[in-house]
Structure formats: structure tokens, C-alpha cells
Amino acid sequence: MNHPEHVLAHLTFWRKEISQQLAEWIEHCDGAVAVDRHARVVWISKPYLEALGLTRPEDALGRHILELTPHSQMPEVLETGRPILLDIWTISERSFVISRVPLKDEHGEVIGALGFVLYESSKHIKPLLAKFARLQSQLECTQSALLLARSNKYTLADMVGHSSAMQQLKRAARRAARQDSTVLLLGETGTGKELLAHAIHAESARTGKPFVAINVAAIPDSLLEAELFGAAAGAYTGADRKGRLGKIQLADGGTLFLDEIGDMPLNLQAKLLRVLQEKEVEPLGSNRVCPVDLRVIAATSADLPRRVADGSFRADLYYRLNVLPLTLPPLRQRLDDLPSLCEFILARLAEKTGSLPRDIDAAALALLREQRWPGNLRQLRNTLEQAVAMTDGDTLGATELRPFLPDPTPAAPPARTLADAVAATERQMIQAALVEQQGRVVDAARQLGVSRATLYKKLAQYGLGGHEG
């Protein structure tokens, strides 16, 4: 049986032996340096001295470690008291794998730190460093391509039309682009609000920086907060373990386009207001705020003042957004632009298929002028695309177009009362919206500027059908 004094003597022997051999190893390893609690060099080995290009220990002793190796992590070890066991130290085109450990007194207080070279890494990790450099280069190229894709997609030159309404809109857009205030784009669905937002960004001082768009109405409320504001690691079940950046942070330095802003839930409206007022964003599940520098362009086809009045949209957010309002005219108010719009759309369709552009004759244009165009430019493009895909010949005429236009609404009996007239008009508008949105109730409700629940009540009232998709 071992006596306690024998065990103590045995342990003391091994401590001294280990300490002595470690000291010898550190003395003769490829390099080592020790600093005091103020990061001043108190000891340095000859190989480390030579790696620094110095000849005498006096050239290093007493100097701050950052004077000798500007990127040293020794101050971090001194501050945290935690080791940095593996790191790469590069000097004079040589790379070393090094460790840094804190030195503590008998009370556990940090009194200094020791850094030592494990081995020269040039031979061992040179291929890894080369691969890292290639990946870094590829990442930079990808980021540049992504930035380009997110910026300057359209300009005001892409806003086709020479009508007085369009000329007035372009002048107002150029004035808005020269400022950095929030812009609110108003207008019916399909009038080109996102295209105009791109154009304002391209004409602004933020051109070349990110243009990030998000359709508020297209994302479920449960996901919208993380999508817009970002999320910290583990903020919710299924969240990325590394966290994620939201659209607001992705737009930093550039422009954030919020389409269908009228559909934003009230609780998120308050968070967006903070972004606009304080220029900072707080990710979901995080207790820190991140500064952001961006310009916000919002768009809606809803009647925001009415939503403010019924309490579904915050008045303070509305005033914050409504700094530079621009209203896009519906197609029925700019029918003089039909010929140039059709020519532009047909040219773009031809580019997609690699064919020659189709012409459109006067009879077809006259037929198009008779339409109400509740879906505006989007509906016009869909109509022409269908006609091009389903017909032959070099020219689109009235015969080719008519099958792809809505059936004329049958004449209704004369309304006897104002309520009858209102109901008839309401029924026609709902029918037109359902046709434009291919029966999708959610999209039709958005086009009409009413809630989904309200539209379902109206469908039941008028005996109309639709579907959730």
C-alpha cells in the first residue's frame, strides 16, 4: 500500500520532470515568445527571434507584442484567460501553426501568455491554403455577380410610353431618385410598381448597391418576420443554427423594396417603423440591434388611408412611408401608349424564343383599346403572350387576339335603386378580378383592396366562385 508521502513525492517528481522537458522543448522548438500581463515581451527564443528578422533578444524584450507581430492574438488571450490552441502565423512568406496559452499565478489570475510554434506549416497545409484562396476568390466573384443581379435591373428607359401621364410620372420619379427619402408607389395591380422601384434605384446615388425586393403579401405571417428582419441562431424551431440575415440587412447600402406593404401585420409594422426611424434592425430572437443604411421604397394597390381609418395599418408608419408618393396610372388612362407597349412586349417575347417579333395591326389595337384592363400591363402581357404562343403568322390581328380576351360582360337590367347600381358594379369588379387572377381568391382580394374574408362574403352574396390557390 502506498503511503501518502510516497504518492506526493512521486507526483512532485513527475511535475518537475514534465516542466523541465516542456521548458527544453519550448526553448528548442521552431519558436516561442512570452509576454507579461501588459503584452510586453519578457522572453523570446532564438528561432522566433530569427523568424522576426531580429538578431538580439534586446531588440524584442520590453516591446509590445503588436509592435513585432501586428496581428497577434496574445492580447485576446490575456483579456479572456482562454487559450487559442491552433492558429496560422504568416511572416516573410513562411507559415507556422502556433498555439497561445495564458500563464496564471497560484490564485488563477492571468499574469502573462506564452505563444509557441508547433511546426512550420508551409509543406503541410500549403495545398489547403491554396484551396482556401481559390474559394475566397470564387466567393468574391459570386458576391459581385449577386450584387449586380440585385441592382440596376431596370431603368426609366424601360418605362415604355409617351402619354402625358407617363411623362409626368417619369419626371416625378427622377426627382424622387435624386433624394434619399422613402418613396410610396401607389396604383392598381399590374401597373409596373416594381419596375419603377428598380428605375428609381438605378437613377439614385445608391445605384450599383443591392436592390432587394420582398412581396409582403406572398409570405405567410409566421415566416415574414424572419424573412424581413433576420433571425438569430436557434430563434425558433427549424431555424438555421448559424442564424440568417433578413432582407433588411441584405439591402444595407442599397434599396429595400416592400411590395404590397398594406398587407403587413400590425406587429411587424412597429418593427419596420423602428428601422425607418432609428436606422437599425433587431433580428428575431436576438437581443442586439444592427445598424443599417438603406432607402425604402414601398408599394401598394390598397387604399392605405382607409386601412389607417379602420385600424389595420398604423398611422405613424403610413406618414413615414408617404414622404414621396408616386401614383402609377392604370392602362385605361394611357391608351395612347398601347402601340408602343405592344411593340415592346412582342419584342421581349421574341427574345425569349429566339424568333422574329410579331407585328400587330390596327384592328387588333382597336380591339385592345375597347378593353377595361383590370390587370393593366400584366394582363396585357399575358394576353399577348397567349396569342403569340397559340397562333401562327407574322401579324397579330383582331381574329388572333379575340379568343384570349375576356368575354364582354352581358348588359345588366337597369338598376332601380342606388344600392342595385352599387351591387351590380361591385359584382362586375369582382368577376373581372377573378378572371385576371385566374380564380385565385387571395390575389383577387389583394387586387380589389379588400380582405380575403370580405371577398368570400361577397362571393357567397353574388353566387360567384373562386379557389384558395
How confident is residue 44, by pLDDT bands cut at 50, 70 and 90? confident
Cell numbers 390575389: residue: 443
CB 156 within 8 A of CB 203: yes
Give the number of other CB atoms < 10 A from CB of residue 89.
Answer: 21
Q: Could you tell me what percent of the chain has a pLDDT over 70?
A: 81
Give the number of other CB atoms < 10 A from CB of residue 238.
Answer: 6
Task: Please determine, for residue 168, whether its predicted confidence score (pLDDT) is greater than 90.
Answer: yes
Task: Please determine, for residue 262, whether its predicted confidence score (pLDDT) is greater than 60.
Answer: yes
Question: pLDDT at position 362, please?
Answer: 92
Return the HEC string of the chain. Answer: CCCHHHHHHHHHHHHHHHHHHHHHHHHHCCCEEEEECCCEEEEECHHHHHHCCCCCHHHCCCCEHHHHCCCCCHHHHHHHCCCEEEEEEEECCEEEEEEEEEEECCCCCEEEEEEEEEEECHHHHHHHHHHHHHHHHHHHHHHHHHHHHCCCCCCHHHCCCCCHHHHHHHHHHHHHHCCCCCEEEECCCCCCHHHHHHHHHHHCCCCCCCEEEEEHHHCCHHHHHHHHHCECCCCCCCCCCCCECCHHHHCCCCEEEEECHHHCCHHHHHHHHHHHHHCEECCECCCCCEECCCEEEEEECCCHHHHHHHCCCCHHHHHHHCCEEEECCCHHHCHHHHHHHHHHHHHHHHHHHCCCCCEECHHHHHHHHCCCCCCHHHHHHHHHHHHHHHCCCCEECHHHHHHHCCCCCCCCCCCCCHHHHHHHHHHHHHHHHHHHCCCEHHHHHHHHCCCHHHHHHHHHHHCCCCECC
212-226, 273-287, 419-433: which range is least confident on average? 419-433
232-241, 314-323, 366-375: which range is least confident on average? 232-241
Q: What are phi and psi of 155, to 5 degrees?
A: -125, 175
CB 138 within 8 A of CB 56: no
Q: What is the spatial distance between Cα 47 and Cα 30, in angstroms, rounded to a whole number?
A: 6
Instruction: Report the pLDDT averaged over residues 246-256.
Output: 93
- Dihedral (CA of 198, 204, 210, 215) sign: negative
Task: Please determine, for residue 257, whether its predicted confidence score (pLDDT) is greater than 90.
Answer: yes
Q: What is the spatial distance between Cα 33 and Cα 65, in angstroms, rounded to a whole number?
A: 9
How confident is residue 264, by pLDDT bands cut at 50, 70 and 90? very high
Instruction: Report the pLDDT averaged over residues 68-75.
Output: 84
Question: pLDDT at position 346, please?
Answer: 94
How confident is residue 151, by pLDDT bands cut at 50, 70 and 90? low
CB 295 within 8 A of CB 255: yes
Reported as a single tens digit per residue, the pLDDT across 393-417 is 899 999 999 988 876 544 455 556 7
CA dist 231 → 23, 76, 235, 257, 282 (Å): 48, 28, 6, 20, 9
Question: pLDDT at position 116, please?
Answer: 84
34-48, 134-148, 165-179, 325-339: which range is least confident on average? 134-148
CA dist 290 → 213, 282, 285, 320 (Å): 20, 6, 13, 21
The identity of residue 357, as a single letter, is P
CB 367 within 8 A of CB 405: yes
Q: What is the mean pLDDT of the chain?
A: 84
Half-sphere exposure of 71 (CA within 13 A, CB side): 5
Question: pLDDT at position 127, please?
Answer: 65
Instruction: Report the pLDDT averaged over residues 269-297.
Output: 91
Instruction: Report the pLDDT averaged over residues 360-367.
Output: 93
Task: Please determine, for residue 89, whether its predicted confidence score (pLDDT) is greater than 90.
Answer: no
Task: Please determine, for residue 47, whether its predicted confidence score (pLDDT) is greater than 80.
Answer: yes
Here the cell at position 233 is 441562431
Residues, the chain, total? 469
Instruction: Give whichever of 91-100, 177-186, 458-467 has the largest mean pLDDT.
Output: 177-186
Here the cell at position 232 is 438569430
Task: Please determine, for residue 469, whether its predicted confidence score (pLDDT) is greater than 90.
Answer: no
Task: Please determine, for residue 64, whether its predicted confidence score (pLDDT) is greater than 80.
Answer: yes
Question: pLDDT at position 432, please?
Answer: 79
Reported as a single tens digit per residue, the pLDDT across 93-150 is 677 788 899 998 888 899 999 888 877 665 555 666 666 667 766 766 665 555 555 5
Reported as a single tens digit per residue, the pLDDT across 204-240 is 999 989 999 999 988 888 889 999 999 886 655 555 5
